Structure 1
Amino acid sequence: MSTLPRTMQAVVCHGPEDYRLEEVPTPQAGPEEVVVKIASSGVCASDLKCYLGAPLFWGDEHRTAYVETPVIPGHEFVGEVVELGEGAAKRYGLEIGDMAIAEQILPCWQCRYCLNGHYWMCQQARVFGFKHVAQGSMAEYMKFPVGSLVHKVPKAIPAAKAALIEPLSCSIHAVQRGDIEFGDVVVIAGTGTLGLGMIAAARLKNPGMLIAIDLVDYRLNIAKQLGADLVINVQHEDPIQRVLDLTDGYGCDVFIEATGHPKAVEQGLHIIRRLGTFVEFSVMREPVTVDWTIIGDTKELNIHGAHLGPYVYPIAIDYIHRGIIDVAPMVSHQFPLAEFQSAIDTVRAAKESIKVLITP
């Protein structure tokens, strides 16, 4: 018999720009399931795109669907374990009172990708906060269903930092996809939460020069704190010409796109050198059109996508715990659950906000 309250407060998505704070049943842990009391939940850029009605249905090749409604949003989170179903304690090494996180995807464990170890590309693509079977974290409590990838989080990590484990995992994976070598000139476009995490992770690769590009000076200043050697505000100077001038006209070795803006993709193709590596991370709200001749016949580029943070959560947890990567500068705002709309509006306004958190 569950000792948790019968109902809880949760944000429920009913459709584009129709999110409501409602009283809903509190989840209960079945066999090998975990229920946590949410300590902190982040508002992602993809959450905003979903709120605005963009087609973000992972796994839909034509991007025509929206999201399963009604659903509790939120896939960046950390919580205190309050209920363990039969077998869950042994399976995950958890006890009541531990802090825990689940990876943002709930794999099916039956498709070709899952069976080959590529679980982050699961054909079912059930990301928390977008599917009925994977209700999200903008609530007082959340359940990690059977099949979740659960990780214990050291209690020494404050909740506001632990909530950034998910975005930092994505950032580290994107940097891994860049195959950065010693001496490389690396350009990272976009200094939101993900881009800043990429700056910090790329710094650990010891590139020859690490360059951050953005439109906002205060974000670029944080990029400097996290290891950028040079920052370029595209409102004040031409990033293409600046990078070409710095590299004897060749261009950068690695370009990572984390802006979510189509213009950055085109800029990146002109900034990067021949035989360079281009990493595309962003979730674009609309299709992006570029000159594919640059990619093939002109430069023979290595084009790498980056999706989620597979096999990286333990690294992200360790780096935050030991202070190897400081995520504190990325947290700009925190709101209580009842003020979820203010949190979403703050992300939407994009004025001096980086990572906005909701704390039930």
Structure 2
Amino acid sequence: MALNEGDTPVGLREQSNRKMTAIVCHGPEDYRVQQVDRPVPEEREMVLRIAACGICASDCKCWSGAKMFWGGDNPYVKPPVIPGHEFYGVVDELGPGAAEHFGVGIGERVIAEQIVPCDQCRFCRSGQYWMCEVHNIFGFQRVVADGGMAEYMRIPRTARVHKIDEGISANDAAIIEPLACAIHTVNRGDIQLDDVVVIAGAGPIGLMMVQVTKLKTPKLLIAIDMVDERLQLAKTFGADVVINPREQDALTVVRSLTDGYGCDVYIEATGSPSGVEQGLNLIRKLGRFVEFSVFGAPTTVDWSIIGDRKELDIRGAHLAPYCYPIAINLLSRGLVTSKGIVTHRYRLEEWDTAIAVANSLESIKVLMDATSQENGRM
């Protein structure tokens, strides 16, 4: 449904002083379920009715007060703010010109990328929008818009929006954002057919990395984690070898599979400093080390390994540029799945339980759902 310039946003004539349920971050371990004003779309903006919003590992670290989010003179989190960047929803309201601007209509399922680019800095203007200098991300600052842990969410005009194919299930739609991040990370590894690839960390995104890496058909795919249940799931997703460092020496296993050299590509997705040190030891000389994780504390390693001893190619992986359409396509073709990854779903009112479960080994991926009457383990 298109609007003419100057029209009142769809639905606003009949609905004034509207409230909605949302989770609001006020500080570390101070997240409250509150009634707040529903967002109103302005010109070339829209409002989504949120279908689901995942709790990310970075959300858990933020909730627990990790210094990287709260410390320093310019903290990354600026409360009060509604958290949540792993969301998708249905177009509920369109501001003037929004239908044409985004190419969407009322009732369509869509997702917006987690970053809201400024479209003015050198990175945005050169097409490298995911490295935007301003760097507003949904769910951490209210500079542009709140996040998706609410019934409704405003999508500003510079957001990158993508339609979700009708055949994609609700749980699959809920993993589009982390899957897109996994795709970008795997692509940064430049995986070749004769590569031995190690993915360290079989959490939600690590398990998606396993699925995406398998599509690259490397010679050997190894997954490392300390939870046997997650390793078994990694095997169902295509890992050739799984290693639990509590029970096996990862260095011995990897070297035994590579004529003593080490892996060609190491993807770090543990979020633990030990995962970095492990990778520097497991990777061969001239190998490619891809760092994805968000750490809750600084990591210290012997940098001489990187240069003097192995001349490694160290690559970062940030967000998911140009990968959302790929993620949607892979899900629509059944090449990647959320089955086994999405384990729990909770109503917004059950936030305290949801964050506790998300912070435990009881879950893999926890979703917040403003519409469901069901909750708990799936």
Q: TM-score range by the shorter chain?
A: over 0.9
Aligned residue in 2 for 1:154: 165
Aligned residue in 1 for 2:3: none
Q: How far did residue 350 of structure 1 move?
A: 2.3
Find the aligned partners of 2:339 and 2:50 in 1 and give their Cα distance: 19
Find the aligned partners of 1:127 and 1:4 in 2 and give their Cα distance: 29
Q: How far did residue 63 of structure 1 move?
A: 8.9
Among 14, 34, 50, which residue is 1:22 paired with? 34
Aligned residue in 2 for 1:294: 305
**113-122 or 149-158, larger mean C-alpha shift:** 149-158
Aligned residue in 2 for 1:207: 218
Find the aligned partners of 1:134 and 1:234 in 2 and give their Cα distance: 42
* TM-score using structure 1 length: 0.97
**39-48 or 318-327, larger mean C-alpha shift:** 318-327
Give runs of aligned pairs for residues 1-360 of structure 1, distance below 5 A. Answer: 1=8, 2=12, 3-4=14-15, 6-57=18-69, 65-132=75-142, 133-351=144-362, 353-360=363-370
Supply the AA of the counterpart residue of 2:305: I
Q: How far did residue 106 of structure 1 move?
A: 0.4
Q: Is the 8 A contact 1:210 1:228 kept in 2?
A: yes
4+ residue segments displaced more than 4 Å: none
Identical positions, percent:
55
Q: Is the 8 A contact 2:86 2:175 kept in 1?
A: yes
Deviation sequence 1:43-68 (CA, Å, 0-9, x none): 0000000001113459x9x7962511
Deviation sequence 1:30-88 (CA, Å, 0-9, x none): 11111010001100000000001113459x9x796251100000000110111011121
Find the aligned partners of 2:74 and 2:358 in 1 and give their Cα distance: 24
Unaligned runs of 5+ in 1: none
Q: How far did residue 341 of structure 1 move?
A: 1.4
Q: Is the 8 A contact 2:171 2:338 kept in 1?
A: no
Find the aligned partners of 2:262 and 2:166 in 1 and give their Cα distance: 44
Deviation sequence 1:223-253 (CA, Å, 0-9, x none): 1111111110111001111101111110000
Label 1:89 to 1:67 Cα distance change in 2 as closer, same or farther (>3 A): same
Q: Is the 8 A contact 2:76 2:141 kept in 1?
A: no
Q: Is the 8 A contact 1:191 1:213 kept in 2?
A: yes
Q: How far did residue 126 of structure 1 move?
A: 0.6
Find the aligned partners of 1:4 and 1:200 in 2 and give their Cα distance: 45
Q: How far did residue 142 of structure 1 move?
A: 0.5
Supply the AA of the counterpart residue of 1:197: M
Q: Is the 8 A contact 1:98 1:155 kept in 2?
A: no
Supply the AA of the counterpart residue of 1:274: K
Question: What's the secondary structure of 1:329's corresponding residue?
Answer: coil
Q: Is the 8 A contact 2:62 2:69 kept in 1?
A: no
Q: Is the 8 A contact 1:107 1:125 kept in 2?
A: yes
Find the aligned partners of 2:255 and 2:107 in 1 and give their Cα distance: 54
Alignment length (residue pairs): 357
* TM-score using structure 2 length: 0.92
CA RMSD in angstroms comes to 1.5
Q: How far did residue 4 of structure 1 move?
A: 5.0
Question: What's the secondary structure of 1:210's corresponding residue?
Answer: strand
Supply the AA of the counterpart residue of 1:27: P
Find the aligned partners of 1:94 and 1:356 in 2 and give their Cα distance: 28
Q: How far did residue 156 of structure 1 move?
A: 2.4
**150-159 or 42-51, larger mean C-alpha shift:** 150-159
